[in-house]
Amino acid sequence: MELFDSHCHLADPRLYADLEGVLARSRASGVGFIVSVGALGSVEADRLTVAIAERCDRVFAAIAVHPHDAGACDAARIGELRRLAACPKVVAIGETGLDFHYLKAPQEVQESALRAHLALAAELGLPLVVHCRKAERRLAEIVGETGLPGRGAVAHCFTGDGAAARALLGLGFHLSFSGIVTFRDAAPVRESLKLVPADRLLIETDAPYLAPHPLRGRRNEPSYLRHTLEAAAAVRGIEPGRLAAQTRENALRFFGLPA
């Protein structure tokens, strides 16, 4: 069984400090592919994310300005992302999006950064990784106007209810689920997980955040993805091996990687 961790942050100091150990445990646990997402508050994090992908086999990069830092998303920063995306191991633009839960940047600033990333992904022919917290309706409105980039988009760490899942699926989104599906208080997320067509489903750790039960509260890492896989397979009533194969195949196709 081979797993694909579609979203984690290897440049975060909590993982980068022990990168060799993190990657060794990840391989030993069956994680064959990783997309590491920069978007950690500075362009240096994006540069480091690309450098990690360049030197590590089967590790790929996504780069963007996180919605928390949307105020820093000016033309110069978009230009820097465009230059970094010339590296063939950059397989997506992200994570961008809307976070109305923390609201660390004003709503209109987040929306304008989202639009800039939608345009950049379309221009570069890359898929888009979208972060959305308590903003699914507004996300659907904006994408309803602009359309998705040609290569599509994934709503990562999906936490919306069934209505939000249906709305984003209707716009063509893939949905990716994290360790939250293992949390006792996440019944609405599990309801959403049941609705996703088999060919539009991804799984992720979002490490170092959101360690799955029974490791909740610890620093997360890609080797913990198996807990999320097993919980998600139980929710969908299929064998973990089958869900691993489906989500691996979906992620390879979505990120444009050879099987």
Question: Closer CB to Zn ion, residue 174 or residue 259?
Answer: 174
Near Zn ion by CB under 5 A, which window of 11-19, 77-85, 129-137, 196-204? 129-137
Minimal distance, residue 76 CB to Zn ion, in Å: 23
What six digits make up the tokens of 242? 């089958």
Is-contact 8 23, C-beta < 8 A? no
Site string for Zn ion, 71-100 (x = CB under 5 A): ------------------------x-----
Site string for Zn ion, 142-181 (x = CB under 5 A): ----------------------------------------
The Cα-based distances of 215 to 178, 182, 228 in angstroms read 13, 10, 11
Minimal distance, residue 94 CB to Zn ion, in Å: 8
Minimal distance, residue 59 CB to Zn ion, in Å: 15
Near Zn ion by CB under 5 A, which window of 19-27, 52-60, 199-207, 211-219? 199-207
Minimal distance, residue 95 CB to Zn ion, in Å: 5
Q: Which residue has the tokens 């221009």?
A: 123
Q: Is 153 helix (H, G, I), strand (E, B) or coil?
A: strand
Burial category of 199 from C-beta neighbours within 10 Å (exposed 0-12, middle 13-18, buried 19 and up): exposed
Residue 117, interface with Zn ion (CB under 5 A)? no
Minimal distance, residue 145 CB to Zn ion, in Å: 23
Pick one of 68, 117, 131, 200: the residue that binds Zn ion (CB under 5 A).
131
Residues contacting residue 136 through CB under 8 Å, at least 6 positions apart: 155, 160, 164, 167, 168
Task: Identify the CA nearest to 131 among candidates 166, 90, 173.
Answer: 173
Question: Closer CB to Zn ion, residue 159 or residue 246?
Answer: 159
Minimal distance, residue 239 CB to Zn ion, in Å: 28
Question: Closer CB to Zn ion, residue 41 or residue 197?
Answer: 41
In this structure, the number of other CB atoms found within 10 A of the CB of residue 20 comes to 8
Helices 43-55 and 75-84, interaxial angle, to 10°? 0
Written as one letter, the residue type at 81 is L
Q: Can you list the pairs that 51-58 forms with residues at least 24 positions away whose Cβ atoms lie under 8 Å?
A: 52/10, 52/11, 52/16, 52/19, 53/87, 53/89, 53/90, 54/87, 54/89, 56/19, 56/23, 58/32, 58/33, 58/34
Nearest to Zn ion by Cβ — which residue? 131
Near Zn ion by CB under 5 A, which window of 19-27, 86-94, 128-136, 181-189? 128-136
Considering CB under 5 A, how many residues would be counted as binding Zn ion? 3
Residue 68, interface with Zn ion (CB under 5 A)? no
Binding site for Zn ion (CB under 5 A): 95, 131, 206
